[in-house]
Amino acid sequence: MSDLDAPTGNTTAEDAGERKQAASFADVPPTPMRAFARLPGLRALRSMRTAIYLLIALVIATVVPTLVPQRITNPEKVAEIGRTHPYWFSVGERLRVFDVFTSPWYMAIWVSLLVVLLLCLLPRTRAFVRQVRRSTATPRAGTLPRLPHTVEWRTDAGPEAAAAQVRSVLRRRLWRQGRANDAGQYVAEKGTVREAGSLLFHWSLFLLLTGLAATRFLGYAGQAAIVEGKEFVEAPIDYDAWTNRGSLGDSVHRGFTVALDRFQVDDPDTAETPDFVSDVRVIDGGREVFAQQVHPNVPLNYRGVKMYQLSFGWAPEVVVRDPSGKVVFDDFVLTRPGGPRGSWTGVLKVPSLEPQAGFRVFLFPDPQVLTPEQAAQFADDDLGDGVLVANRSPNPVAPLLVFEEWRGDLGLESGPQNVNVLDVSAMTRADVGAAQLGGDGFDLDDGLAVRFADLRHYSVFSIKRDPGLVLVLIGASLLLLGLIPALYSRRRRLWVWVRPDPDAVDAGAEGSAAATLVTLGGIAYQRKDAFSDEFTDVVTACRAAVPPQERAPESDVSKP
């Protein structure tokens, strides 16, 4: 990237020798500084070609996560590959193809790219600062350099009047003009903003990535389900899942409470695309702070923690009593859609019983009674043809809870378990029953009694704290701000020389006013083709303001 936008001017030997003094009028502005040039290898490392190769490598590496499912976006699919192709799965795990974005090899490409970028940017930034200071500095008197575009003409106007006219033409055209030396020479420049924009763009990338890193290491993100009427405490224990656990530990959590008072979802029969909304109250330090409705596009934002409405579901309250009538379980069970016959399924575990008990529950919000013939078509599903119901609609009409009782060892000792899965490898199916909402419940064969006490919605929130967000936003804005001039602006310079005509001076007083010689030279560092037109325009405007002598020889337009 060091040679991106680099002026193609020729650096003269005297430029290096006379760096301390002001540049001569004949000097073409210096090319970007050659830092580290003496260290072998470093020059190649910070060349644009290296950066291009690395960027191409990054694009090719990114093909992998578009073809292979990633754990962060599609964990189910990754787990499925683990089950169906264990050998390839282990190979993939070793190569980290399921976690490309956090894998060492992907990071290595990024880091190399950033290092090369930094090595390009530092010298370029230094050179740019120097260039801004020096590009229109008053030059020492000298001859006009060899330039792609040069025009010279004689005019009857006096040197001062002519210089003032040219100056005002260029000012109207927004050229940045230096001060003239005693010989009437100065330099004007336009499009310095190109390099400024390019530098801003590339530095902003670093700002943006710093923000991303801050989010990853200083922030956290997870999900939590709250049952209608219940509360959630913003502390690690109340989270159900994590997408980013952060690196600062538990102390950074805010510890306030969010109470879900009500959850509403549009009737899917009347609304084509149902909206859903959670009415929540935020309680902090024992005091209610505010109440808000959280929609899919309207998150809750409190003390840097944001809660987004993600999804929702049904949570039946199930009460289990042992044969003596003692309550051994009383809680809301989170169920998910997608169960057999349109049911919502969930799991509850009662480890206090001996032997331990586990239930699979199937919720039918709007059950429809089936004939045995109708049920026969479902003989192969989890419920079997003994259960004569199917779900008709997602609206709770006469909700029915079907449950399947398992007794044995829940396997809780063998480590953390998924709360949504019942491990039946050491259990036997004991009984099947059903209970209506608010009814008396169902007595199982082994003396347990199960009651379907209540049915509420639960609402799932994506919760996160993102301290890098502001940096990312600033980085992205600056990046855009820099991109526009970097792409559309182009740097070009004019050499202006207005002086008394030496020939006329030699000829002596002919009575008429002394003629003036005006010279304009120009060079563009980008889009040289477009500059021919612009240079012609500038010259035309100058000649309109400072008309050439009629008897003078025609102007000499030279092009490369």
Partner 1 sequence: MSTAIRLSNATFLIALVSYFVAMVASFGYLAYKAEPWRKGAMAALGVGVTSQAVSLAAIVVHLHRAPWGSIYEFCSSMALLMMAVTLFAIVPRRGLAAVSGFLCGVAVVLMGAGWVWYAPPSTLVPALRSNWLTFHVFMAITGSTMLLAAAVVSALYLVRLRWEGRNPSWDLTAATTKEVDAVADAESGTRTPELAGRPTGPGAALAATPRAGRVARQPAAERLDELARRLVIIAFPIWTVAIFAGAIWGEQAWGRYWGWDPKETMSFMIWATFAVYLHARATKGWRTRGAAWVGVTGGVLILANMFVVNILVSGLHSYAMP
Q: Which residues bind partner 1 (CB under 8 A)?
A: 1, 3-5, 48-49, 51-52, 55-56, 58-59, 62-63, 65-66, 70, 72-74, 101, 212, 221, 243, 272-276, 295-299, 306-308, 310, 462-464, 469, 472, 476, 479-480, 483-484, 487-488, 532-533, 536-537, 540, 557, 559
SS3 250: helix
Q: Which is nearer to partner 1, 288 or 537 (CB)?
A: 537
Smallest gap from Cβ 295 to partner 1, in A, equals 7
**Look-up: residue for tokens 């310095």?**
192
Q: Which is nearer to partner 1, 208 or 498 (CB)?
A: 208
- Contact indicator for 214, 468 with CB cutoff of 8 Å: yes
Backbone angles phi, psi at 397, to 5 degrees: -105, -60
Which of 181, 226, 195, 191 has the alpha carbon at shortest distance from 1?
195
Q: Which is nearer to partner 1, 376 or 480 (CB)?
A: 480
Question: What sign for the dihedral angle of Cα 34, 39, 44, 45?
Answer: negative
Q: Which is nearer to partner 1, 243 or 374 (CB)?
A: 243
Smallest gap from Cβ 66 to partner 1, in A, equals 5
Smallest gap from Cβ 469 to partner 1, in A, equals 8
Q: Which is nearer to partner 1, 370 or 483 (CB)?
A: 483
Which of 241, 225, 257, 180 has the alpha carbon at shortest distance from 416?
241
Q: For the chain, first and last CA: distance in Å?
A: 28
Q: Which is nearer to partner 1, 298 or 397 (CB)?
A: 298
Which of 374, 373, 330, 323 has the alpha carbon at shortest distance from 350?
330
Smallest gap from Cβ 234 to partner 1, in A, equals 14
Smallest gap from Cβ 322 to partner 1, in A, equals 40
Helix H or strand E encompassing 58: helix 48-67
Q: Which is nearer to partner 1, 55 or 252 (CB)?
A: 55
Backbone angles phi, psi at 449, to 5 degrees: -120, 130
- Contact indicator for 543, 537 with CB cutoff of 8 Å: no
CB neighbourhood size of 54 (10 A):
19
Smallest gap from Cβ 306 to partner 1, in A, equals 6
Q: Which is nearer to partner 1, 85 or 295 (CB)?
A: 295
Residue 293 φ/ψ region, left for φ over 0, alpha for ψ in the -120 to 50 degree band, beta for the rest: beta
Partner residues linked to 455 by β-bridges: 316
Smallest gap from Cβ 433 to partner 1, in A, equals 31
Q: Which is nearer to partner 1, 24 or 215 (CB)?
A: 215
DSSP assignment of 424-472 equals: -TTEEEEEEEEEETTS--EE-TTS-EEEEEEEEEEEEEEEEE-TTHHHH
Q: Which is nearer to partner 1, 388 or 483 (CB)?
A: 483
Smallest gap from Cβ 237 to partner 1, in A, equals 21
Q: Which is nearer to partner 1, 201 or 403 (CB)?
A: 201
**Look-up: residue for tokens 């804005």?**
477
Q: Which is nearer to partner 1, 81 or 212 (CB)?
A: 212
Q: Which is nearer to partner 1, 23 or 200 (CB)?
A: 200
Smallest gap from Cβ 545 to partner 1, in A, equals 17
DSSP, res 24: B
SS3 14: helix
DSSP assignment of 302-369 equals: ETTEEEEEEEEEEEEEEEEE-TTS-EEEEEEPP-BS--GGG-EEEEEEETTSSSEEEEEEEEESSEEE
Smallest gap from Cβ 271 to partner 1, in A, equals 9
Smallest gap from Cβ 523 to partner 1, in A, equals 17
The DSSP bridge pattern shows strands 442-443 and 149-155 to be: unpaired
Dihedral angle at the C-alpha atoms of 200, 201, 204, 205, nearest 10 degrees? -150
Which of 447, 435, 227 has the alpha carbon at shortest distance from 357?
447
Q: Which is nearer to partner 1, 308 or 458 (CB)?
A: 308
Name the token pair of 85: 């192709």
* Burial group, residue 394, by CB count within 10 angstroms (0-12, 13-18, 19+): middle
How long is the chain?
A: 560
